[in-house]
Chains A and B, each alone.
Chain A
Amino acid sequence: MTGMDVLVAILKIALMVGFLFNVGGLLTWVDRRQSAMIQDRIGPNRAVIKIGNFELRIAGLLHTAADGVKFFFKEDFMPPNADKLLFSMAPILAMMPVLALVAVIPMGDTICPDFLRMTGEHGNVFYPAVQRFGVCPMMEIPVVDPVTHLRSVRIVHPISLAVAPLNVGVLYVFALAGQGIVGAAIAGWSSDNKFSLMGALRAASQMVSYEVAMGLSLIGAMMIYGTVRLDDMVRWQGDNAWGIFVQPLAFFLFFTAAVAESKRIPFDLPEAESELVSGYFTEYSGMKFGMFYFAEYMEIVTSSMLLVTIFLGGWQLPFFHRDGITIAFGDALVFHSALPHIWMTILGVLVFFGKTLVVCSFQAFVRWSLPRFRYDQLMKLGWRVLLPASLANLFATGVIYLAIDNAGPEFTSALHVAADVSQAVVALAITFLVIRGFVAFFAPRSKRRWVVGSAARFAEARGGTETGPMQA
């Protein structure tokens, strides 16, 4: 462990946790503003910083900051008969697993530091081109000192872009995702409040139920990828097809279970406002409540990161590999262009975070579209639908995996072509969506006018209703 390694580790932690905190805070705003757009409202836009005549609003983003300030200055109330230690510990227990969970999630491909510079002969050092497959091993590069002509060896350490590239990967994720129950259960138990206790019971039973489906849905993916390391999973997806194509049912099951794990609508039974005030954190106020609230939003980010990593290709874009762009179907090469390693690394990190944001936004869509389940429906869905479905998925995956294994080389190469076609489908879909978005953005809009009554006539005479500064 050299000083450089420590620095790199701190940088990775800062990037990952910084992203988690910022996007967690941002999601509170996204939730409000996106729901407003979905429901034809304007949404919160009143928080303002006034500097002279200049008003800073940033489309309502300051509400998030105002919330944070408010949390710190509110009274930190504790019920008289509450268990003081557990009551104070619960928010920490709710938040810690979420923070710890991102440690294993790779945000980009492994960096081979010496390939960051140009490839080929450069000075007296020969830098081989970065290879497309696998990870760059710890390499020894022969170096000739230009002055003394002494031969020496440079050792290259690959830098993994996960904070802790654990070999147990997904198992660590399961272990920490299960810890989310503890915070909720302790919060409800220590609050000395019947509503809180009910909420905690619901949270515990719900999360235990969905934990099972969540774990089993991933086993199929693990079998196909042949690893539990998250970065190897992403590499498999880049070389073959994205997980959503090889395990579509598992993707859906995992998504459902992940939404249930983060206790959001339609699975927000533990904090159902209409039934339990606000469930297990009824008695919490101030920043303790803020930590529960924030942990919930960060759980969305982590579950989105997991979905992206396991099913949506992680840092991969179709046809973009570590060594550049290669469009090939099976063995038929269509296009190849080498790109510097550093560009591909930066692109990979951006792609990973971008995909995470898209999935977070999609989770907000789910949250604002679906009604809450009844509790028996929730349990039925968990035990009678998701669990059998994930078991069936596991069985089918096993059978198909064996069949493919015994099918022979022709079938395998055909599968490779199919995998490349799926990459092409993804590329075309992304391109189509981007173009569609641009076209729709600049499309003209026809408006229905309805000028009846004196109020509308007055507004018409004035050339439309007067506009204020708060349109953002």
Chain B
Amino acid sequence: MATTFPKKPASPTNAKVVAHVEPTPLTQAYLPEIFKGLGVSMRHFFYNTRDMLRGTRPDPVTERTDDGITTISYPEQKRPYPERFRGVHRLTTRDDGSPRCVACLCCSTACPAQCIFIEPGEYPEGDPRRGYERYPVKFVIDELRCIFCGYCVEACPCDAIRMDTGLHAVPYDSREQFIYDKDLLLAFASRTGTHENENPRHEPGEPGHPGISRLSH
């Protein structure tokens, strides 16, 4: 038994459904239809010219179903990307500014395009994080290979990689420029401007860290 999902209501449109016209002597005479067509052309022309001259064109995003010119002049005008748009990746940071990434290689394993390369490194002796987690010595994403599927974000157990920058893949001159390294990925902020994220994190040594609770037993 197939599950039926509730249907999304159809979005309104300014497209007009034109009924099929049976050929009658009046339409076959061609002339009346010519004048009707010219009338339509003129109506569009005069209303659009007026809107262009007075600057009362409908907003291309919020009033896109209105009559008139709703073209987005792209580089200058941009349609805001939707909330869950998967843009260029960023690495989220901890409070001290170091990456949240623990170099578990989950993302590079999940990546169907194999565009993520991570070289894990061990914390030095005496670091409170040693023995609990590793850190990425290198974290490289090849944005040319990336297919923006978002699996890396799903796979990450630490919420260390996100695609919420709101940036689309930028065109560059050479292939080398598409290889994003750790510093660049850390430099990207989310749409709200933060480099961190909202989920809490407990450092080793803090109360609430699973390692601590295990130690106390």
B59 and A459 form a contact (CB under 8 A): yes
Give the Cβ gap from A164 to chain B, nearest Cβ, in Å.
Answer: 35
- Among residues of B, the one whose C-beta sits closest to the C-beta of A450 is B65
Chain B residues near A37: list those with CB within 8 A.
Answer: 44-45, 48-49, 52, 69
Are B73's CB and A42's CB within 8 A?
yes
From residue 25 to 52 of chain A, which have CB atoms closer than 8 A to chain B? Answer: 34, 37-42
A-B contact pairs, 29 of them (CB 8 A): A37-B44, A38-B41, A40-B44, A40-B48, A40-B67, A40-B70, A365-B41, A369-B38, A370-B37, A441-B53, A441-B54, A445-B51, A449-B62, A450-B11, A450-B65, A454-B83, A455-B61, A455-B82, A456-B61, A458-B81, A459-B62, A464-B62, A465-B60, A465-B62, A465-B77, A468-B73, A470-B76, A471-B52, A471-B73
Interface residue A366 (Cβ < 8 Å from any Cβ of B): yes
How far does the alpha carbon of A41 sit from the alpha carbon of B51 in the complex, in Å? 12
- Count, chain B residues at interface, CB 8 A: 47
Residue contact B38 to A365, C-beta cutoff 8 Å: yes
Q: How far is the CA of A448 from the CA of B59 in the complex (A)?
A: 10
**Min CB–CB distance B43 → chain A (angstroms):** 9
State in angstroms the CA–CA spacing of A451 and B63 once bound together: 8
Q: Write the nearest CB–CB distance from A366 to chain B, whole angstroms.
A: 7
Which of A39, A441, A456, A458 sits near B44, CB closer than 8 Å? A39
A151 within 8 Å of B (CB atoms): no
Q: Which residues of B contact A466 (CB under 8 A)?
A: 76-78
Check A41/B71 contact, CB under 8 A, given A369-B41, A459-B62, A465-B60: yes
A460 within 8 Å of B by Cβ?
yes
Bound CA–CA A452/B63 (angstroms): 10
Q: Is B34 an interface residue (CB 8 A)?
A: yes
Interface residues of A (CB under 8 A from B): 34, 37-42, 365-366, 368-370, 437, 440-441, 445, 447-456, 458-460, 462, 464-471
Give residues in B with beta carbon < 8 Å to A: 11-12, 34, 37-38, 40-42, 44-46, 48-73, 75-84
Contacts of A42 in B (CB 8 A): 69, 71, 73
A254 to chain B, nearest CB (A): 16
CA of A369 to CA of B79 in the docked complex: distance in angstroms? Answer: 31
Known: A37-B44, A440-B46, A465-B59. A448 touches B80 (CB 8 A): no
Known: A42-B69, A459-B59. A450 touches B12 (CB 8 A): yes
Q: How far is the CA of A336 from the CA of B127 in the complex (A)?
A: 106
Q: Note all chain B residues with C-beta closer than 8 A to A470.
A: 73, 76
CB-based closest 3 A-B pairs: A468-B76, A458-B80, A454-B83
Is the pair B63, A38 in contact by a Cβ cutoff of 8 Å? no
CA distance A453 to B83 in the complex (A): 9
Give the complex CA separation of A42 and B41 in angstroms. Answer: 15
Instruction: With CB as the reference atom, state the residue of chain A lying closest to B55.
Output: A471
Q: How far apart are the CA atoms of A18 and B53 in the complex, in Å?
A: 28
Interfacial chain A residues near B57, Cβ < 8 Å: 471
- Docked pose: A37 CA to B69 CA in angstroms: 8
- Kindly provide the distance from the CB of B55 to the nearest chain A CB, expressed in whole angstroms: 7
Contacts of B51 in A (CB 8 A): 445
A39-B44, A449-B63, A469-B76 provided; 20 other pairs, C-beta below 8 A? A37-B44, A37-B48, A37-B49, A37-B69, A40-B68, A365-B38, A445-B51, A445-B56, A447-B59, A449-B62, A451-B62, A454-B80, A454-B82, A455-B81, A459-B79, A464-B59, A466-B78, A468-B77, A470-B73, A470-B76
In the bound complex, residues from chain B placing their C-beta under 8 Å from that of A366 are 38
Contacts of B41 in A (CB 8 A): 38, 365, 368-369
What's the nearest-Cβ distance from chain A to residue B68, in Å?
Answer: 7
Q: B11 contacts which chain A residues (CB < 8 A)?
A: 450, 452
Determine whether the beta carbon of A455 is less than 8 Å from that of B77: no
**Do A450 and B46 touch across chains, with their CB atoms under 8 A apart?**
no
Most buried by B among A38, A441, A460: A38
Chain A residues with CB under 8 Å of B78's CB are 465-466
CB distance from B166 to the nearest CB of A (A): 9
CA distance A450 to B65 in the complex (A): 7
Query: Nearest residue in A to B44 (C-beta to C-beta)?
Result: A38
Contact A450–B56 (Cβ < 8 Å): no
